[in-house]
Amino acid sequence: MKPVQHRWKWMLLIGLWSSLAHATDRLDSLEVSVWNAGSRPALQQVEKQLIYTLGQGNADTAHLYYLLSLTYLHLFMSDSTEVKLLQQALQLAQEAIELQPDSEVGYLAMSEMLSTLGKKTEALFLLRTLEANAQKKQKTKSWRLMFHLARIQSQDPASLAFTLEALLKENPSPLLQNLVLPDLVSALQLSQPEASYIKTLQQLEVRFPHPLLRHKLVSAYLEAGQVSHAQQLCQKSLQQDPRDSWMQIYTQVIRYQFLHQSEAAYHRLLALETQTPDTLHALLWMHLGLVQQQMGHTTAAYAYLQKALEQNDFSPEFLEEVHQAYIHIHQEPAFLSLLEHLQEEASNHTALYGQLGRTASHLKRYPEALGWYNQGLLLDPEEATFHYNKSCVLALQGKATESLHWLQQALELRPDLSMDAQRDTDFISIQHSDAFQALILHSRKKQEAKAAALADTTMQTLPAPGK
């Protein structure tokens, strides 16, 4: 099954809002948002904020073009069929260079674009040229250049974690912590076993007492079943910062999910509504709904969860977050019922059909899953993930010919899905067939040809740094 592109850094933004709310430099806040807004709706919101700031005419225009270029590049990465986004990213990077030829920001945007298009060698050459130019001018290598170098030259999550931690040691400024910590924590989670990951987080939190690290430690403790450690950290954090709304919410999550104190947790969560910042309301409403579900109050649960989902505009990432929370409290069938209820009132949201299909499939209710994907395709025939997930369900049912047909449709729309298909265990019954392998090979070649053409265009328009 094609998973939601749930970049968990989107969740990590929860831990950053309180520190960014009082930032004196709006550009710093926007830069952090660009790098960490992993969901498409969040990126689109950042795009609006950047365009609004540009319209005010009182900020560094080249820097804003750099940030907008990265935003369009990240949007392209979330849906590689939208080539126009890549073209916009390229144009903005070029304009940043033309505005300030001596600045590195336009070239940094170009390096990210080249790396995204599979031209990592060329991207690194560009960054190394910037590095050499700084040395010639006897300038200190900027942290921004070092950040891009770390991301592009790292071969795996472990090497990325090592490089980012070294960068933080050299420059532990609040801005860099907000930029680097989400990537660092993500790399650590991917590269370390659970026990080592928790220990490393503990060590990092001592050196960089950032709310994000405390929040991730609480989550890690709970995932490892170390409830008492999570409780102690929540209490300690709230003593240091009683306004930490995330910790206030998770103190009650621990009560209802692990200590069987649903009633008390519900009343305390309810009292937090007037104190919680807007950015955390969806999280609060989600847990109000979940605790009501656990108490058997289904109608009230649906009302809270509908509010939470509407605030996030039914984003696929948040839908999947709610799904996982329902699984955690062993109420997945109730989640499917919630989605069916919402679909009657919000039938124009394609993300709902995708989540209905994934949830029904996870419950092994395959005919229902196919029905939801078919309804989604009626609403948006060009949505490749509907084709892909329909192919998954058919493969799980042993219908190889039909599965391959729908997989071909998906790959025609989005060749990049071939990488997911190769790893997807839903296709285990057909992955070794000649027909499946031929589809993957054809899509890979198509994707490589498109990337090569786009990268060539980028290289042709790129002036040498410093000239």
Per-residue pLDDT of 37-56, as tens digits, reads 867 878 888 999 999 988 88
446 vs 95, more confident = 95
Q: 234-253, pLDDT tens digit by residue?
A: 999 999 999 999 999 999 99
pLDDT score for 202: 96
Cβ atoms of 424 and 414 within 8 Å: the answer is no
Q: DSSP readout, 216-253?
A: HHHHHHHHTT-HHHHHHHHHHHHHH-TT-HHHHHHHHH
pLDDT band at 23 (very low <50, low <70, confident <90, very high): very low
SS3 154: coil
pLDDT score for 118: 81
Per 3-state DSSP, the chain is made up of helix, strand and coil in percentages (nearest 5) of 75, 0, 25
Query: How many Cα atoms within 13 Å fall on the side-chain side of residue 456?
Result: 6
pLDDT score for 22: 38
Q: 127-161, pLDDT tens digit by residue?
A: 999 999 888 887 888 999 999 999 899 988 999 99
pLDDT score for 8: 37
pLDDT exceeds 60 at position 263: yes
Burial of 202 (0-12, 13-18, 19+ CB in 10 A): middle
pLDDT score for 13: 41
pLDDT band at 16 (very low <50, low <70, confident <90, very high): very low
Q: 80-132, pLDDT tens digit by residue?
A: 777 789 889 989 999 999 999 889 999 999 999 889 888 888 899 999 999 99
pLDDT score for 248: 97
pLDDT band at 464 (very low <50, low <70, confident <90, very high): low
Closest by CA to 293, choosing from 342, 254, 327, 248, is: 327
What whole-number distance in Å separates Cα of residue 292 and Cα of residue 213?
29
pLDDT exceeds 80 at position 12: no
Cβ atoms of 205 and 238 within 8 Å: the answer is no
Q: 102-108: which pairs have CB atoms within 8 A and are 24 or more residues apart? A: 102/466, 103/62, 103/63, 104/130, 104/142, 104/144, 104/145, 104/465, 105/62, 105/63, 105/65, 105/66, 105/144, 106/62, 106/65, 106/66, 106/69, 107/462, 107/465, 108/66, 108/144, 108/145, 108/148
pTM: 0.82
Mean pLDDT for all residues in the chain: 88
pLDDT band at 15 (very low <50, low <70, confident <90, very high): very low
pLDDT exceeds 60 at position 6: no
Cβ atoms of 398 and 433 within 8 Å: the answer is no
pLDDT score for 462: 60
Quick one: average pLDDT of 285-290? 96
Cβ atoms of 411 and 391 within 8 Å: the answer is no
Quick one: average pLDDT of 191-196? 93
Quick one: average pLDDT of 339-350? 86
Cβ atoms within 10 A of the Cβ of 413, count?
17
What whole-number distance in Å separates Cα of residue 431 and Cα of residue 425?
9
pLDDT score for 17: 39
What whole-number distance in Å separates Cα of residue 347 and Cα of residue 339?
10
pLDDT exceeds 80 at position 20: no
What is the token pair recorded at 221? 């403790």
Q: 384-434, pLDDT tens digit by residue?
A: 999 999 999 999 999 999 999 999 999 998 888 998 999 999 999 999 999
> What topology is assigned to 1-142 in CATH?
1.25.40
Q: What percent of the chain has pLDDT over 70?
A: 91
| DSSP annotation of 463 | P
